[in-house]
């Protein structure tokens, strides 16, 4: 546990009155180590962040060199629509470049889609990333939720069809899901794709975490499915959250509409070059997937040995947990872990979850051991 006085010795002192210069939205996201560091009088690099699900292996080899080479180009404007990166992504996915559009993280593209599509009624499968709902509400769309529930967070296609038949024109679905880690099987996704087309319902599939199970992506369907929009990100798998690179895959007719309304120069030169370098390292891709399968299995077993924790199955690089100990909400666990300089994701504000749910990223073995030790101590000392 942190001894605050000892840890601050020899460290540049920070003012305890340091405040964020902007008002932070009420919905909390993971990965805000800067706010956590300010609150706990730490440097950001001293925080062990399990709240953001980033590849623990870091950048692929060669990316740092590409970054350094590109800095000299910062005196020039970047390509307005990231044409070179778009071509690299097309080669990586074996798609036509005309079916891709690159943005400043997939979040920019979520808001772009909302502005361009302007649907009347949207149904979002929850729990889900909050920015989908926020973006559509901003353009005046009526938004509703279709909640999948524990223990398996399975999706009932029949129930989903009945809800969509109530007059929705757009369905938003995240696969694999965040924050649950659950994967909707391919045959069910195909059923949803074809049903939506027959029913004239747009289908927006957020595949931010599908890199861990690439074979489950719907990207190959895009040329023949004009109603299908797929969101992807390089943030999670290639560890680029600070550079902000995301992309959408959709029919070329849709891409033409989106390009008309996206801001030029959305992605800076460094981000474009680093992202392209990531795509060249296929060995890193294979190594990351092998590492994650092994480490996820290991940490699942360790968590199962800690009394008071339920672990939900995951296909990605994070785990959803439920604290079964009565009177011990996830928010309290998060506050206690903060004393160890550990940041986790309290999931109590996700639709369909509750105050007992939290999410942890899967990191390297030594870091995972540190979390497990702290979590075991916290749960043993919490009153039931």
Residue ranges and CATH numbers for the domains of the chain are: 27-50+283-381 (3.90.1150.10), 63-279 (3.40.640.10)
pLDDT higher than 80, residue 128: yes
Q: How many CB atoms lie within 10 A of CB 150?
A: 16
* Tokens standing for residue 304: 């199962």
The pLDDT confidence band at residue 82, using thresholds 50, 70 and 90, is very high
pLDDT higher than 80, residue 184: yes
Residues 186-207 have a mean pLDDT of 96
Residues 136-163 have a mean pLDDT of 91
Residues 101-111 have a mean pLDDT of 97
Describe the crossing of helices 157-164 and 186-198 by its angle, rounded to 10 degrees: 20
Q: How many CB atoms lie within 10 A of CB 28?
A: 15
> Is 286 buried (19+), middle (13-18) or exposed (0-12) by CB count in 10 A?
exposed
Query: SS in 3 state form for 216-278?
Result: HCCHHHHHHCCCEEEEEECCCCCCCCCCCCEEEEECHHHHHHHHHHCCCCCCCHHHHHHHHHH
pLDDT higher than 70, residue 275: yes
Of 15-29, 294-308, 309-323, least confident by mean pLDDT is: 15-29
Q: What is the tens place of the pLDDT at every residue in 18-51?
A: 344 444 444 466 657 888 788 878 788 888 999 9
Please give the pLDDT value at position 40.
75
Share of the chain above pLDDT 70, in %: 91
Share of the chain above pLDDT 90, in %: 78
pLDDT higher than 60, residue 256: yes
Please give the pLDDT value at position 109.
98
The pLDDT confidence band at residue 1, using thresholds 50, 70 and 90, is low
Q: What is the tens place of the pLDDT at every residue in 197-225?
A: 999 999 999 999 999 999 999 999 999 99
Residues 301-313 have a mean pLDDT of 92
Of 13-27, 134-148, 211-225, 324-338, least confident by mean pLDDT is: 13-27
Q: Where are the alpha helices (DSSP H) in the chain?
A: 4-8, 33-39, 63-70, 83-93, 105-117, 130-138, 157-164, 186-198, 252-261, 269-279, 282-304, 330-338, 365-381
Please give the pLDDT value at position 13.
41
Please give the pLDDT value at position 2.
56
Residues 357-379 have a mean pLDDT of 96
Query: For the chain, what is the mean pLDDT?
Result: 90
Please give the pLDDT value at position 16.
35
Please give the pLDDT value at position 325.
81
> 248 forms bridges with which residues in the sheet?
101, 231
Please give the pLDDT value at position 130.
92
């Amino acid at each position: 546990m942190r001894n605050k006085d000892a840890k601050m010795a020899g460290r540049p002192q920070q003012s305890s009155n340091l405040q964020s210069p902007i008002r932070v939205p009420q919905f909390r996201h993971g990965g805000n180590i800067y706010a956590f560091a300010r609150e706990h009088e730490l440097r950001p690099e001293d925080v062990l962040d399990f709240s953001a699900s980033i590849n623990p292996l870091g950048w692929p080899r060669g990316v740092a060199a590409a970054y350094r080479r590109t800095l000299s180009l910062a005196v020039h404007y970047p390509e307005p629509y990231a044409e070179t990166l778009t071509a690299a992504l097309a080669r990586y996915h074996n798609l036509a470049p005309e079916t891709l559009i690159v943005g400043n993280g997939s979040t920019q593209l979520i808001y772009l889609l909302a502005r361009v599509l302007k649907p009347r009624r949207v149904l979002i499968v929850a729990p889900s990333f909050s920015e989908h709902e926020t973006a559509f509400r901003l353009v005046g769309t009526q938004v509703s939720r279709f909640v999948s529930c524990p223990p398996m967070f399975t999706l009932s296609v029949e129930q989903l069809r009945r809800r969509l038949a109530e007059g929705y024109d757009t369905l938003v679905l995240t696969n694999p899901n965040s924050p649950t880690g659950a994967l909707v099987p391919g045959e069910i996704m195909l059923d949803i794709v074809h049903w939506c087309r027959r029913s004239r319902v747009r289908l927006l599939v957020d595949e931010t975490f599908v890199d861990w199970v690439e074979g489950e992506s719907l990207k190959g369907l895009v040329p023949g499915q004009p109603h299908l929009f797929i969101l992807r990100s390089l943030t999670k798998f290639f560890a680029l959250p600070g550079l902000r690179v995301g992309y959408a895959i959709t029919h070329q007719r849709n891409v033409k509409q989106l390009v008309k309304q996206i801001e030029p120069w959305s992605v800076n030169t460094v981000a474009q070059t680093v992202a392209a370098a990531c795509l060249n390292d296929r060995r890193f891709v294979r190594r990351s997937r092998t590492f994650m399968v092994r480490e996820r299995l290991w940490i699942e077993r360790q968590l199962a040995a800690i009394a008071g924790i339920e672990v939900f199955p995951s296909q990605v690089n994070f785990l959803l947990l439920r604290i079964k100990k009565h009177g011990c909400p996830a928010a309290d666990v998060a506050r206690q872990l903060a004393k160890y300089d550990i940041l986790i994701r309290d999931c109590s504000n996700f639709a369909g979850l509750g105050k007992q749910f939290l999410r942890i990223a899967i990191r390297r073995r030594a870091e995972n051991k540190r979390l497990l030790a702290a979590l075991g101590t916290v749960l043993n000392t919490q009153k039931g």
